[in-house]
């Protein structure tokens, strides 16, 4: 679907992310640093704004991808109109008193701490003292029976992973049957900061919003009244209820860092360097139309068509008219995300069929395919073997297609072939050979493009992976990162009585102002 002669509408910029799944080693550094930064507080112990799942697996919270059960995202009604799966406006207000589709804490997991004190205070005895787990919610000793990454590395997969909602259809039988030669990959997940966010659309208070300047989706903590419709509406289950404050919290895309031109914490600390951050320009007037695309399999193209080419003079003119500053336009042209999503088309959205137009995209993993080539006795360096495997393999192509292309195996297969061709071509080049350009031509790349894509995927440096333009100085009053003092500190530090500061790790239910005492009450 070409853009045709349609004029460019309201241009907006979005800071978006791409993750190259082949590089994810499942170390959870992103999750841990995110947790230390954002959710190490009472009320959100169970919440992981960023988590890393093993796929196949039921995920976190359990079976969140089963929208028949959880009613997340959008769908088309009988007349083809875009409606929230959790129901219309009236139904939403009627379910304020008890939301039938809200996951309970058991669907996440019961957060625990340990009796660390017992390790040093236990009386001398014949046995080594142990630190037993205690529920953070009740203070009672508890059994740990589930967690945010319980299935790590397919742990418990024979019992649990069959319940993965992506394992539907006939081909899925084979996955379960051949678990001895199974496959796995890691899927880091965070808020998608969607173009058509279901959470924002479901918020009765209007407390959730998408920022015009950078597309980050946030919860206004002062306006949230705890109606918890956002949790149900988000198909990725990336909005959480803080059970201490009774308010919604979610991934902020580390907006204070983004505003200062720095990458998010999960990106900054990513050991595998698999994350890319950059701008995408999009036509805000075409979002609704794209989200309402009749065929689920066309949603990927529809979303790509909402993105605008920052090199197109017409787009640049419209962007200037919409108030996007020059350095942002420049950043949009250098954006690695634009390159991976729109230029090379190797990145795919997670579950486009939810119709939220998600903005964290993934380069699908080639490794499970290569493993299968090996297992079949093929040579994974020979593109012919891999091409043959990609097309012949029923697993995991269908599985990847369920995740990234609403079940369209041709698209995922195409991306995997592109990656295979690139690998083969660059292998020859690296070994000092000429390289057979016909291999990459067959997947739509020139030799130069192959070199560039390889560079971006394999050796890109910090400043190539993270092209984050700082927010504008004229908005300086609004910039949290530009404040001349740290808004967060511990109780021992001098000046803690200053009301603008927030205590970390201390249950603070009421925001303190200058005339209220410190600490709040638990």
Partner 1 sequence: MNTSAADLLLWVAVPYICLAVFAVGHVWRYRQDQFGWTSRTSQLLEHRWLRWGSPLFHLGAFMVIGGHVAGLAVPASWTEAAGVDEHTYHTVAVWAGSVAGVAMVTGLGMLCARRLLSRRIRLRTDRSDKVLFPLLSATVLLGITATAAHNVFGAGYDYRSTVSVWFRGLFTLSPEPGAIAGAPLLFQLHALTACLLFAAWPFTRLVHVWSAPVGYLVRPYVVYRRRTAAATASGGRRAV
- Footprint of partner 1 on 59-98 (CB under 8 A): 89-90, 92-93, 96-98
Instruction: Tell me, residue by residue from 449 to 488, as one string, x for binding to partner 1 by CB under 8 A and - for no binding.
Output: ----------------------x---x-xx-x--x---x-
Collapse the DSSP code of 277 into the 3-class scheme (helix H, G, I; strand E, B; otherwise coil) and give the result: strand
Residue ranges in 128-167 that form contacts with partner 1 under rule CB under 8 A: 137-140
Burial class (CB in 10 A: 0-12, 13-18, 19+), 361: buried
Out of 220, 309, 452, 489, the only residue in the binding site for partner 1 (CB under 8 A) is 220
Interacting positions 491-510 with partner 1 (CB under 8 A): 500, 502, 509-510
Tokens matching residue 78: 């009988």
Among 91, 320, 455, 511, binds partner 1 (CB under 8 A): 511
Listed residue (241, 290, 287, 177) closest to 47, CA to CA: 241
Binding to partner 1, residues 269-328 (CB under 8 A): 287
User: Between residues 227 and 361, which has the closer beta carbon with respect to partner 1?
Assistant: 227
CB of residue 476 to partner 1, shortest distance in Å = 10
CB 46 within 8 A of CB 39: no
The CB-of-382 to partner 1 minimum distance in angstroms stands at 48
The distance of closest approach from Cβ of residue 205 to partner 1 in the complex, given in angstroms and rounded to an integer, is 5
170 interacts with partner 1 by CB under 8 A: no
Q: Which helix (H) or strand (E) holds 55?
A: strand 51-55
Which residue in 158, 169, 226, 499 binds partner 1 (CB under 8 A)?
226
Mapped onto helix, strand or coil, the DSSP state of residue 281 is strand
Stretch touching partner 1 by CB under 8 A, among 14-22, 249-257, 299-307, 374-382: 249-257
- Report d(CA 227, CA 99) in Å as an integer: 9
CA distance 332 to 15: 9
Rounded Cα distance, 248 and 107, in Å: 17
219 binds partner 1 (CB under 8 A): yes
> At 11, which helix (H) or strand (E)?
strand 11-20
- Which CB sits closer to partner 1, 174 or 223? 223
Q: Does 100 bind partner 1 (CB under 8 A)?
A: yes
Pick 26 or 507: Cβ nearer partner 1:
507
Out of 5, 127, 222, 434, the residue judged to bind partner 1 by CB under 8 A: 222
CA distances from 106 to 102, 103, 235, 251 (A): 11, 8, 18, 21
- Pick from 67, 11, 21: which is nearest to 356 by CA? 67
Name which of 96 and 119 has its Cβ closer to partner 1.
Answer: 96
Tell me whether residue 225 or residue 333 sits nearer to partner 1 (CB atom): 225
With binding defined as CB under 8 A, does residue 247 bind partner 1?
yes
Q: How far is CA 495 from CA 301, 498, 503, in A?
A: 54, 6, 12
Site size for partner 1, by CB under 8 A? 72
CB-count burial class (<10 Å; 0-12, 13-18, 19+) for 65: buried
Q: Retrieve residue 244's tokens.
A: 């201490």
DSSP single-letter state for residue 484: S
CB 337 to partner 1: min, Å:
20
Tell me which DSSP letter residue 6 carries. P
Half-sphere exposure of 43 (CA within 13 A, CB side): 20
Q: Between 58 and 203, whose beta carbon lies closer to partner 1? A: 203
Dist. CA 445–CA 442, nearest whole Å: 7
Q: Does residue 369 bind partner 1 (CB under 8 A)? A: no
Quickly list H helices, 322-382: 326-333, 336-338, 367-375
CB of 521 to partner 1, least distance (A): 7
- Alpha-carbon radius of gyration of the chain: 24
Q: Which listed residue (206, 497, 505, 517) binds partner 1 by CB under 8 A?
A: 206
Question: Minimal distance in Å, beta carbon 361 to partner 1?
Answer: 20
- Phi, psi at 234, each rounded to 5°: -75, 115
Q: Which residue's CB is nearer to partner 1, number 206 or number 497?
A: 206
Q: Which of 32, 122, 244, 504 binds partner 1 (CB under 8 A)?
A: 244
Which of residues 210, 237, 257, 286 is near partner 1 by CB under 8 A? 210
Contact pattern for partner 1 over residues 1 through 40, marking x by CB under 8 A: -------------------------------------x--
Measured over the CA atoms of residue 373, residue 379, residue 381 and residue 386, the dihedral's sign is negative
Least separation in angstroms between residue 245's CB and partner 1 is 7
């Amino acid at each position: 679907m070409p853009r045709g002669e349609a004029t460019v509408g309201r241009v907006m910029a979005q800071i978006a992310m791409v993750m190259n799944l082949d590089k994810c080693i499942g170390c959870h550094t992103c999750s841990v640093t995110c947790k230390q930064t954002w959710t190490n507080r009472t009320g959100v112990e169970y919440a992981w704004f960023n988590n890393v799942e093993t796929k196949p697996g039921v995920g976190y919270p359990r079976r969140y991808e089963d929208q028949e059960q959880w009613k997340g995202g959008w769908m088309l009604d009988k007349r083809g109109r875009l409606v929230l799966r959790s129901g219309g406006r009236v139904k939403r207000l009627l379910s304020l008193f008890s939301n039938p589709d809200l996951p309970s804490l058991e669907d996440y997991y019961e957060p625990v701490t340990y009796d660390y004190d017992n390790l040093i205070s236990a009386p001398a005895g014949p046995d080594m003292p142990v630190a037993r787990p205690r529920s953070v919610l009740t203070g009672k000793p508890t059994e740990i029976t589930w967690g945010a990454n319980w299935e790590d590395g397919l742990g418990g997969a024979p019992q649990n992973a069959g319940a993965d909602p992506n394992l539907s259809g006939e081909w899925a039988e084979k996955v379960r049957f051949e678990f001895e030669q199974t496959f796995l990959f890691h899927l880091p997940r965070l808020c998608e900061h969607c173009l058509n966010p279901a959470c924002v659309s479901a918020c009765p208070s209007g407390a959730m919003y998408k920022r015009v300047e950078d597309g980050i989706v946030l919860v206004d903590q002062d306006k949230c009244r705890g109606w918890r419709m956002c949790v149900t509406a988000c198909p990725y289950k990336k909005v959480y209820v803080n059970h201490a404050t009774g308010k919604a919290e979610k991934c902020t895309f580390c907006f204070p860092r983004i505003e200062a031109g720095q990458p998010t914490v999960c990106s900054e600390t990513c050991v595998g360097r698999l994350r890319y951050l950059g701008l995408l320009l999009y036509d805000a007037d075409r979002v609704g139309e794209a989200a309402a695309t009749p065929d689920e399999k066309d949603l990927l193209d529809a979303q790509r068509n909402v993105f605008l080419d920052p090199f197109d003079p017409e787009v640049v003119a419209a962007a200037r008219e919409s108030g996007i500053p020059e350095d942002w336009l420049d950043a949009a042209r250098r954006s690695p995300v634009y390159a991976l999503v729109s230029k090379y088309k190797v990145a795919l959205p997670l579950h486009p069929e939810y119709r939220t137009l998600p903005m964290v995209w993934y380069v699908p993993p080639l490794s499970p395919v290569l493993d299968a080539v090996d297992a079949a006795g093929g040579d994974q360096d020979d593109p012919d073997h891999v091409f043959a495997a990609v097309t012949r393999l029923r697993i995991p192509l269908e599985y990847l297609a369920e995740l990234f292309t609403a079940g369209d195996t041709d698209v995922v297969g195409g991306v995997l072939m592109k990656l295979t061709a690139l690998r083969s071509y660059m292998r020859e080049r690296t070994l000092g050979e000429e390289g057979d350009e016909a291999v990459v031509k067959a997947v739509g790349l020139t030799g130069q493009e192959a070199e560039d894509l390889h560079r971006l995927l394999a050796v890109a440096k910090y400043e190539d992976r993270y092209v984050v333009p700082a927010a504008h100085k004229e908005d300086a009053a609004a910039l949290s990162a530009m404040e001349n003092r740290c808004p967060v500190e511990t109780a021992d530090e001098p000046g803690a009585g200053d009301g603008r500061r927030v205590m970390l790790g201390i249950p603070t239910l009421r925001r303190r102002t200058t005339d209220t005492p410190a600490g709040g009450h638990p």
